[in-house]
Structure 1
Amino acid sequence: MFAYPTVRTSFIFLAIALAGLLVADIAITTANPWQDLGRLFWGVVTPNFFSTEGLLTALLRTVAFAFVGVALGSVCGFALSLVYRFLPVRMFCAFIRSIHELFWALIFLQFFGFHPLTGVLAIAIPYAGIFAKVYSEIFEESDPEPSRLLPPGTRSIPAFLYTKIPDCWVQLRTYTAYRLECGMRSSAILGFVGLPTLGFYLESSFSQGLYSDAGAMLVLFYILIATMPLWVRPKLLPAYVLAAPFFLGDGMPIIWGNVKRFFTEDIVPAPIRNGEGLVGLSEWMGDVWINEALPGIWNTVVLTQIALVATGILSLLAFPLISRHFGGPVRRTSGHILLVIARSTPEYILAYILLQLWGPSMLPAVVALALHNGGIIGHLIGRQTNTIQLRPDAPTGLSRYSWELVPRVYRSFLAFLFYRWEIIMRETAILGILGIYTLGFYVDSAIQNIRFDRAMVLILITALLNIGVDALGRYIRRKLALKTMPTC
């Protein structure tokens, strides 16, 4: 049931979001937004699968980057999870996972170029931090009883292999499979920075107004995600992982001198390179902070809070679509399809599409973030309501929703929402690359102007902001005793 602290917290966040709407830019600036939206819908229902050369190759490379990146990230994350109890390891993992995959890709592009290593590392590095955190939590929550039954003097490695791994295997496998699905989305959007994945062709089709071509790519991506349980089988995974590197492509050779120059010169603040001393460095930092960091932080926070509340509202409206307590199997099947589409489409792709239709403002970003994250939370809450048994004389319709189900799942709903808070902020920052004035906009502008020192400072600020929001979200969950956490 509702408790006063949860209601008060909800209204505080609602008030913050409403205040954010007063200062946010949410205008629609295109001349015929609904006509363009209709053209997009018509393109999706009349996809052209044969006009774009290299579409099948792009699809294979999307899968290949996901498999190699996630495999590398899971192996490194597993190793880090074994020493995750040490504070330096936790801080390192928090830092690398707080930087979005596209930011990592933009960094590696500067010295690796369009080499496959750029895409693989862009996925593997943040995913290693995520895997380390989740794997360590799974190990900590495992049953301690098997360890007590081992003979005295059993060494730690055999003890771990014989007690922890069997007990945690199902959870480890389930989470890794979910993260592979996330890797598919991450791999697809790497195309927006020039890597040869699905996003590259999607952006090209939209920029030329070829909506049927873009619709074909979206349909193929939905099919790819929806059919993963059919073709991603445990017995086939070793074969996929071994074969995936051969589908990454070649790229240009890596010039290691560029790597050395990037780390020893390019990212060193200009005043230090030019010998201007602390005075020059102070003035340089002040300029970065006032003209780029502060506006970026402000817009990132405002957009995040609006999107967070919009996600919550959409989640509460969406979960009845798949709940067995409302409607019949036909309506629930339709609801499942809608939520699969919403949660399978990366926020970046949704925002890109809506920006083409509505023009540059915060509105496309808010809608994209709310649809994707609302689809995820709505799906989780809907599944949870299916386990609830109602009385035979329970009310129906709106009363069932308001008085029987929402009060029972509201604490879980808040736990899911605060869990997604840091993820929403990560995506909000990166959406700046599309032209929205969040931190990503200033990072991308600095890189375009070959000011890598400013870009690295802004990326560091983005990481610290994400770490802070993640810590605040954990504090609120702990303060409100919101124990129900996502299973994936």
Structure 2
Amino acid sequence: MNAALAPRRDPQATTRLAAWAVALVIAWPMLALSEFKPWALFAGGNLSVIGGFLAGFFPPDASPAFLALLLKATLETLAMATAGTALALLIGAPLGFVTTRALSISRIGPGPGRVQAGVVRQAARWLLMVLRAIPEIVWALLFVRALGLGPASGVLALAITYGGMLGKVYAEILESTDTRPARALLESGSGRFAALCYGLLPNTAQELASYTVYRWECAVRASVVMGFVGAGGLGQLMDQSMKMLNGGEASSILLVFLALVLLADLMSNTLRKLLA
């Protein structure tokens, strides 16, 4: 038989089939434990109940009095997310710098300070893990008790949790690029900060900026959730609207959520083009 006409067989077919089987074996009990039963949506009168609930969202509330409250809550949410992300950047960037192994001078050859550098780097990793291990909603509950109701609690909660996230991902992004330029700078006697600026950042600036904007977008959503525990902003306004069963107000708030996500996407694309 002509080799060109011989049936082709995927050499990785068995491996892929085994991987799917393992994934199914793992996922099935997880779905059972989580009581995932989507067919319950179609049982009895559930569809009519859901339809009636969604029908209450139309039309969106556009009254001047509510729009004034919505504008104030939106500005509070943006301020909370932006301030929280800025503080998280001040926490995460230095810790990410410390934990990046490609910037460790002690790794370029034998010499003093290797053990101390390893200890400091590991301590910074543990600190990042502790910061991101506790959800921001838990920090928000704690700070609301300490500081009272208002956006300040949300800002601190975002700063702590997102600081740990930013530091971890920054270090991973810097490690995933070509580290040879940074190593060459360190071997020629350059300092770590110069190796970061001229050896690693040119290849990672786009990804770092994109991830930072994405974290700001996540902070906007998180600040909304924290509003339900008294941190102010759109979340608190949504909580009030839902408790009063005012679907029109809730619909207007959801439209603002969509606009904020589109704004974050536009910012990310613009930054990537500027840094290209």
**What TM-score do you get using the length of structure 1 for normalisation?**
0.44
Judge conservation of contact 1:70–1:180 (CA < 8 Å) in 2. Answer: yes
Note if 1:157 corresponds to 2:193.
yes
Is the contact between residue 61 and residue 197 of structure 1 (CA under 8 Å) also seen in structure 2? yes
Please state if 1:98 is matched with 2:111. Answer: no
- For 1:44 and 1:227, the matched residues in 2 are separated by 23
Residue 34 (structure 1) aligned to one of 47, 55, 62: 47
The reply to whether residue 88 of structure 1 matches residue 101 of structure 2 is no
Alpha-carbon distance in structure 1 between the residues aligned to 2:35 and 2:245: 33
Which stretch has the larger CA shift, 65-74 or 90-99? 90-99
Q: Secondary structure of 1:143's partner?
A: coil
**In the TM superposition, what are the counterparts of 1:77-476 in structure 2 within 5 Å?**
77-84=92-99, 86-150=121-185, 152-230=188-266, 234=271
Letter in 1 for 2:91: C
User: What residue ranges of structure 2 are gaps of 5+ in the alignment?
Assistant: 1-11, 102-120, 272-276
Matched, 1:49 2:62: yes
Q: AA paired with 1:179? A: R
| Of 85, 92, 97, the match for 1:70 | 85
Query: 1 CA distance for matches of 2:34 and 2:166?
Result: 35
1:190-219: per-residue Cα shift (whole Å, max 9, x none)? 110112211111111111111111111111
Cα deviation for residue 22 of structure 1 reads: 6.8
How many angstroms apart in 2 are the aligned matches of 1:68 and 1:77? 14
Please report how far the alpha carbon of residue 109 of structure 1 lies from its aligned counterpart in structure 2 after TM superposition: 1.3
Larger Rg: 2
2:263 corresponds to which letter in structure 1?
A: T
Matched residue SS, 1:82: helix
- Work out whether residues 97 and 129 of structure 1, in 8 Å CA contact, stay in contact via their aligned partners in 2: yes
Deviation, 1:39, is 3.5
Going from structure 1 to structure 2, the CA distance change for 1:183 and 1:23 (only over 3 Å counts) comes to closer
Change in CA separation of 1:22 and 1:135 when aligned onto 2, cut-off 3 Å: closer
**1:160 Cα offset (Å):** 2.0
Is residue 2:30 matched to residue 1:17? yes
Structure 1 letter corresponding to 2:89: S
Judge conservation of contact 1:190–1:199 (CA < 8 Å) in 2.
yes
Distance 1:115 1:55, change over 3 A: closer
* Distance 1:132-1:61 versus aligned 2 partners, 3 A rule: same
Q: Is the 8 A contact 1:39 1:211 kept in 2?
A: no
Q: Per chain length, whose mean CA-contact separation is higher, i.e. which structure has more relative contact order (CA < 8 Å, sep 6+)?
A: 2
Corresponding position of 1:334: none
Question: CA contact under 8 A between 1:43 and 1:213: conserved in structure 2?
Answer: no
TM-score of the aligned structures, taking structure 2 as reference length: 0.74
Aligned length: 232
Partners in 2 of 1:135 and 1:23 — Cα distance?
35
SS class of match (1:227): helix
Other-structure match for 2:116: none
Corresponding letter in the other structure for 2:95? L
Q: Is the CA contact 2:88–2:163 (under 8 Å) kept in the aligned structure 1?
A: yes
How far apart are the structure 1 equivalents of 2:176 and 2:228?
39
The gaps in structure 1 that reach 5 residues or longer are: 235-488
Q: 1:18 to 1:69 in 2, by over 3 A?
A: closer
Shift of 1:227: 3.1
Q: What is the distance in 1 between the residues matched to 2:248 and 2:254?
A: 10
Tell me by how many angstroms 1:65 deviates.
0.6
Shift of the alpha carbon at 1:104? 0.7
Paired residue type of 1:177: V
Conserved in 1, the CA contact under 8 Å of 2:80 and 2:223? yes
Paired position in structure 1 for 2:5: none
Q: 2:212 & 2:137 partners in 1: Cα distance?
A: 21
Q: What is the CA deviation profile of residues 111-133 of structure 1, one whole-angstrom value per residue up to 9, with x for unaligned ones?
A: 11124331101111110111111
Cα deviation code 1:347-397 (max 9, x no counterpart):
xxxxxxxxxxxxxxxxxxxxxxxxxxxxxxxxxxxxxxxxxxxxxxxxxxx
- The amino acid of 1:73's aligned partner reads A
Aligned residue type for 2:81: A
Contact 2:77 2:224 in 1 (8 A): yes
Preserved contact between residue 43 and residue 214 of structure 1 (Cα < 8 Å) = no
Change (3 A) 1:215 1:36: farther
